[in-house]
């Protein structure tokens, strides 16, 4: 039986209503309320997208509508999945980092909920309805269809334009200035977020030429920083000079687990024992943005802030950077980087040489003999790396990036060293504790192997966490329940956001440094230990030597930290003032202009 229904009106209207509902649902999940600008922008963008269907005859018209529905639904679904982990919408830069998806299957699946099928359930229904309810009416003539197309497109553009015109004319501010990762979502809704984010992508994805004013701003910034620095040396300066340097970036390691027990067992017994012969920086913050782990690698190795949108490794991996490896090369060091994942992940195979590493050992250099979670286990990774170290002439710099303690924190039962109670063992928090405990044990075995190979006494070992593994917006309730207390956002920032930064040598006297700092401060601090004078990096590194700065501060760019945050001795300030914004802008200009190549 066939119903004589005008297919143009019916399918466009149903597709519009379906996508509008999806967009508003996502908008409501991200924000406390749907703003008028977001509502009108969403309608306007849908009008514009769907208007083009009027230019097609069947069956191309229904194919276009289904394609638009599928693409928009997938983008909204991706926003939601990304939000569940990072608390912000996905961006164009992240969509293009497809090489990062390999091996992330378990992590992504852990974020998907059964109800997410509702984002796509309408598509087969609409397609089935089209096949069953085909119209026998002829299409409107081309003139009428062009008229309807033009009208719908113009109305859509006008609706999208209302909010920016109002902001520009009445509020007299830049309508497209992005203050937080959620700015576009709040002002324009999820559809508007992606339209304006795509415009930003087209505008920003190129190497820039600095203006004279920007050159002056960079020079003035470094002049001010150098003028405020303390150049006097102390007994720690050069304590590692001529020694090997091993830096270990530990996946998802947060500071609150250090010296803590769970059900009577130490979570990190190895790291705890190392503190007796370490400089332990207990107020050290992750400063990563959308590049996550790769941003931490950039911060620690270059003392530059990552770009604010996307991954620096992906966007500007082909640029050249001043780095710890290049500083050490001037003293005769050979440098290697090791990570038991595919070299294309975070574009490391292209970027690492530009960070000064002579060799990069990725998963292709290792036997896949013990796979856990995303890839090769940390224990196997460290064990198999020993021959690479023995082949190197001394002194050497070796940079490790671990993997096993990556979400979703699934450790085989045989490797569960904590043996937690059933209730905790089946929780996300308990799985996190077990993952960190496993990697802690792997580090202990690695240090024992270094000692056996007579490398330990001639090696400085640095360990730090790359970013949070537990998040305020996602894991707060579970952590509050476990510790049986309420945790404010400020307390979370002060007690749970930090990552450990540890500099170990068997002959060091244990010392806890409470100076506030971040990953950008790692290079100047390590350089001090390695006997590198400030003059060698003073106009390149943006961080401070935490051994010379008694109070310190840290700029947190985003991530779990949500909005930009400034941590200082007097407390936590949400949002940045001009001075801190200028630091981020200077770093952005340095990276995007390939500044250090031009200044050679």
The pLDDT tens digits for 195-236 are 888 887 777 767 789 999 999 999 999 999 887 665 567 889
What pLDDT band is residue 172 in, cutting at 50, 70 and 90?
A: low
- Do residues 172 and 299 share a domain? no
Q: What average pLDDT score do residues 154-159 get?
A: 93
Same domain, 242 and 160: no
From residue 548, give the alpha-carbon distance in Å to each of 231, 464, 517, 524, 536.
8, 19, 12, 10, 17
Q: Are residues 259 and 188 in the same domain?
A: no
pLDDT above 60 (res 99): no
- Residue 210 domain-assigned (yes or no): no
Examine the domain organization and report whether 160 and 248 are in the same domain. Answer: no
Q: State mean pLDDT over 465-471.
A: 92
Contacts of 240 (CB under 8 A, 6+ apart): 460, 505, 529, 530, 531
Say if 441 falls within a structural domain: yes
- 51-65, 418-432, 437-451: which has the minimum mean pLDDT? 51-65
Distance in angstroms between the alpha carbons of the first and the last residue of the chain? 77
Domain match, 187 and 42 both? yes
Q: Residue 258: inside a domain, yes or no?
A: yes
Q: Residue 374 is part of a domain; what is its CATH number? A: 3.40.720.10
Q: Specify whether 445 is located in the same domain as 490.
A: yes
The pLDDT, as a whole number, for residue 205 is 66
What's the domain count of the chain?
2
Domain-embedded: residue 568: no
Q: Does 275 share its domain with 385?
A: yes
Domain assignment present for residue 281? The answer is yes
Question: Domain range holding 520?
Answer: 236-558
**Better pLDDT: 423 or 167:** 423
**What local confidence, expressed as pLDDT, does residue 101 receive?**
56
* pLDDT for the residue 21: 95
Helix (H, G, I), strand (E, B) or coil at 265: strand
DSSP result, 495-513: HTS---EEEE-TTPPPEEE
In a domain, 143, yes or no: yes
pLDDT digits (tens, 9 = 90+) for 269-279: 999 999 999 99
Structure tokens, 222: 């470094």
Q: Residue 584: is its pLDDT beyond 90?
A: yes
- For 129-150, the pLDDT digits (tens) are 878 766 544 566 778 888 888 9
477 in the same domain as 366: yes
The pairing of strands 565-568 and 554-556 is antiparallel
Say if 596 falls within a structural domain.
no
Both 286 and 242 in one domain: the answer is yes
pLDDT tops 50 at residue 586: yes
pLDDT given for residue 2 in this prediction: 44
Q: How much of the chain, in percent, has pLDDT values that exceed 90? A: 63
Q: Taking the CA of residue 251 as centre, how many other CA atoms within 13 Å lie in the half-sphere pointing to its CB? A: 25
Residue 188's pLDDT is: 84
Instruction: Please check the confidence at residue 29 and state whether its pLDDT lies above 70.
Output: yes
Q: Examine residue 583 and state whether it is found in any structural domain, yes or no.
A: no
Categorize the per-residue pLDDT at 31 as very low, low, confident or very high, splitting at 50, 70 and 90: confident
* Domain boundary residue, one of 152, 180, 204: 204
Residue 472 has pLDDT above 90, yes or no: no
Quick one: what percent of the chain has pLDDT higher than 70? 90
Residue 489: the pLDDT is: 87
Provide the pLDDT for residue 231.
Answer: 54
- Same domain for 492 and 358, yes or no, is yes
Say whether both 113 and 13 belong to one domain.
yes
C-alpha–C-alpha distance, residues 74 and 190, integer Å: 12
Q: Are 66 and 121 in a shared domain?
A: yes
pLDDT, averaged across the chain: 89
Q: Is the pLDDT of residue 306 over 60?
A: yes
Question: Which segments within 340-384 are labelled E, that is strand?
Answer: 359-361, 371-372, 375-376
């Amino acid at each position: 039986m066939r119903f004589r229904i005008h297919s143009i009106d019916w399918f466009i209207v149903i597709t519009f209503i379906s996508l509008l509902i999806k967009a508003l649902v996502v908008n409501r999940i991200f924000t406390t309320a749907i703003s008028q600008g977001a509502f009108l922008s969403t309608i306007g963008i849908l009008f514009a997208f769907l208007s083009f269907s009027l230019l097609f005859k069947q069956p191309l018209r229904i194919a276009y509508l289904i394609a638009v529905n599928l693409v928009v639904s997938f983008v909204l679904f991706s926003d939601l999945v990304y939000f569940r982990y990072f608390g912000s919408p996905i961006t164009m830069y992240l969509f293009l980092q497809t090489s990062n998806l390999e091996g992330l299957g378990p992590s992504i699946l852990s974020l998907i909920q059964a109800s997410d099928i509702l984002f796509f359930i309408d598509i087969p229904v609409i397609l089935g309805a089209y096949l069953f309810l085909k119209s026998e009416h002829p299409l409107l003539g081309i003139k009428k269809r062009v008229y309807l197309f033009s009208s719908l497109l113009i109305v859509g553009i006008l609706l999208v334009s209302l909010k920016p015109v109002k902001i520009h004319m009445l509020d007299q501010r830049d309508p497209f200035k992005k203050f937080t990762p959620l700015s576009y979502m709040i002002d324009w809704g999820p559809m508007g977020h992606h339209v304006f984010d795509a415009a930003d992508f087209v505008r920003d994805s190129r190497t820039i030429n600095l203006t004279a004013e920007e050159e002056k701003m960079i020079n003035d910034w470094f002049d001010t920083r150098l003028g405020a620095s303390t150049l006097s040396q102390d007994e720690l300066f050069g304590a590692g000079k001529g020694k090997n340097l091993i830096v270990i970036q530990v996946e998802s390691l947060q500071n609150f687990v250090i010296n803590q027990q769970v059900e009577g067992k130490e979570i990190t017994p190895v790291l705890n024992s190392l503190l007796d012969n370490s400089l332990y920086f207990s107020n050290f913050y992750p400063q990563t943005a959308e590049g996550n782990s790769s941003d931490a690698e950039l911060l620690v190795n270059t003392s530059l802030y990552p770009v604010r949108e996307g991954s620096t490794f992906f966007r500007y991996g082909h640029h050249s950077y001043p780095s710890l490896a290049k500083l050490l090369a001037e003293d005769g060091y050979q440098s290697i980087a090791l990570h038991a994942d595919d070299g294309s992940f975070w574009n490391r195979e292209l970027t690492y040489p530009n960070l000064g590493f002579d060799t990069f050992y990725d998963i292709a250099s290792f036997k896949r003999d013990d796979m856990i979670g995303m890839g090769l286990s940390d224990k196997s990774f460290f064990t198999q790396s020993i021959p690479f170290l023995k082949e190197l002439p001394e002194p050497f710099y070796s940079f490790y990036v671990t993997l096993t303690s990556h979400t979703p924190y699934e450790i085989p039962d045989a490797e569960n060293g904590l043996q937690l109670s059933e209730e905790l063992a089946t929780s996300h928090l308990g799985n996190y504790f077990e993952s960190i405990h496993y990697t802690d044990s792997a580090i202990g075995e690695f240090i024992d192997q270094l000692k056996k190979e007579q490398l330990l006494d001639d090696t400085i070992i640095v360990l730090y966490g790359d970013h949070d593994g537990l998040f305020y917006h996602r894991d707060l309730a579970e952590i509050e329940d476990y510790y049986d207390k309420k945790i404010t956002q400020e307390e979370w920032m002060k007690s749970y956001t930090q990552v450990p930064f540890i500099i170990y040598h068997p002959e060091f006297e244990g010392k806890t440094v409470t100076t506030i700092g971040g990953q950008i401060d790692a290079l100047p601090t390590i350089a001090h230990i390695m006997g590198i004078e400030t003059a060698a990096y003073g106009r390149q590194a943006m961080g401070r030597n935490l051994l010379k700065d008694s109070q310190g501060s840290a700029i947190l760019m985003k991530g779990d930290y949500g909005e930009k945050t400034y941590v200082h001795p007097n407390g936590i300030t949400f949002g940045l003032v001009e001075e801190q914004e200028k630091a981020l802008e200077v770093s952005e200009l340095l990276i995007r202009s390939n500044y250090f190549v031009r200044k050679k």
